[in-house]
Chain A
Amino acid sequence: MIINYGYKDGSGEYFIVIDTARCNGCGACVTACPAGVLEMTTEFDPDTLEDMVIPHLTEEHAKKIKYSCAPCKPGQDMAGSSEAVVPPCVLACQPQAMTHSW
């Protein structure tokens, strides 16, 4: 299952996307995040009827990741803007289960 955490508002789209089929519940992304945006949680898997362990956004940051994630994304929509930098949470994910939409 693909989970799109985050939001779209008047100023843009800010989604952190997790592919639960690839996620192994290791929590490396949580550790890698300097801002405390992520934490591990459980999500019901209707196939196994068990819970799977996956990351989600903390309540504190869920509705403002545009701002919370900004320190890891220097140079975006700024005058001398270069390509997007890959944030540490995405880099830390070995199974490549996580991407950012911005």
Chain B
Amino acid sequence: MAEEKKEFWRWPEYRRTVPGKDWKGAQVITAGVDVGSVSSKTAIMVDGELYAYAIMRTGSSSAGSAEKVTNWALEGTGLTIKDIHYTVGTGYGRVNVPFAQRAITEIACHARGANFIWGPTVRTVLDMGGQDCKAIQCDSKGKVTNFLMNDKCAAGTGRGMEVFADLLNVPIEEVGPRSFEIDEEPEPVSSTCVVFAKTEAVGLLRAGWPTEKVLAAYTAAMAERVVDLLNRVGVEKDFVITGGISKNIGVVRRLEKRLGFQALPMKPEFDPMIAGSIGAALFAKALYEKGQ
């Protein structure tokens, strides 16, 4: 049987309480729980400011994962789930967060979270996860104006990248840097189907291409593929990238070159993986206040 694959991007599971923040005296304490196919995230917000969060791998039960990650986010804070005024659940597919008052689609939460992390100038969010690719256009309030999500085809997803890295025997975190160890930028591999790209790559290697040049050709193909999807929803500055692919400079730089502008740098204090859960927690606050 084929072995268990390593993680696409080796991200650590962790929890964090934002220093200098406290919940005592708060008006509204909310939680956003984002259960994805690979990772689960919970953000705890106090009066609309990020207080604590946790990121962990999703287990076999999404309901169980939702509870686990939320409890972990609350660990050491003195709060329990019962103290949360309002919880919004989000994530892949029909999400099951049993203690949430409401479920909101991940696209809306992601855009809202990106707006919180990077500010009201963000207009385009690209999220490339392990098994899907999302292009989102939003306004200055973080409201979605146009989006698409592609989870049918592996080209343009972390999985598509991983399969290629495996073929070339390159650890995934080296793909980006090594794709620049070339004399001249080659033409991208012509197909946008990962299966055919693999066949092409084998041919190129046999023709004597060094691994780095093949990496360059594939990351370029991926960048082109992504630009296509972005153009469908419309790409404008400011542009941000979330998801595993944000760490692959091979794709990011080639993407920026094709767009003609750069993505905003990541904010160190806000792990981009929690954008969705932050958005959910902010919607939770608005819904709680509306209910009063």
Chain B residues whose C-beta falls within 8 Å of the C-beta of A64 in the assembled complex? 152
- With both chains docked as a complex, state the minimum distance between the C-beta of A15 and any C-beta of chain B, in angstroms: 7
Is A47's CB under 8 angstroms from B150's CB? Answer: no
Chain B residues whose C-beta falls within 8 Å of the C-beta of A15 in the assembled complex? 148, 232
Q: How large is the interface on B (under 10, 10 to 19, 20 to 34, 35 or more residues)?
A: 20 to 34
Given contacts A46-B108, A49-B286, contact A4 B152 (CB under 8 A): no
Instruction: Decide yes or no whether B28 CB sits under 8 A from chain A.
Output: no
Q: How far is the CA of A4 from the CA of B144 in the complex (A)?
A: 12
Q: How far is the CA of A63 from the CA of B151 in the complex (A)?
A: 8
Q: How far is the CA of A15 from the CA of B231 in the complex (A)?
A: 13
A/B pair count, beta carbons within 8 Å: 67
User: A26-47 CB contact bits vs B (8 Å, 1 = yes)?
Assistant: 0000000000000000011011
Interface residues of B, dominant DSSP: mixed
Given contacts A46-B112, A49-B290, contact A8 B150 (CB under 8 A): yes
Is A10's CB under 8 angstroms from B232's CB? Answer: no
Is B153's CB under 8 angstroms from A10's CB? Answer: yes
Instruction: Decide yes or no whether B101 CB sits under 8 A from chain A.
Output: no
Number of interface residues of A (CB under 8 A): 21
Is B228's CB under 8 angstroms from A49's CB? Answer: no
Partner of A3, one of B147, B193, B228, B286: B147
Instruction: Decide yes or no whether B283 CB sits under 8 A from chain A.
Output: yes
Is A10's CB under 8 angstroms from B152's CB? Answer: no
Is A4's CB under 8 angstroms from B233's CB? Answer: yes
Instruction: Decide yes or no whether B27 CB sits under 8 A from chain A.
Output: no
Q: How far is the CA of A2 from the CA of B143 in the complex (A)?
A: 12
Given contacts A7-B150, A7-B153, A15-B148, contact A44 B143 (CB under 8 A): no
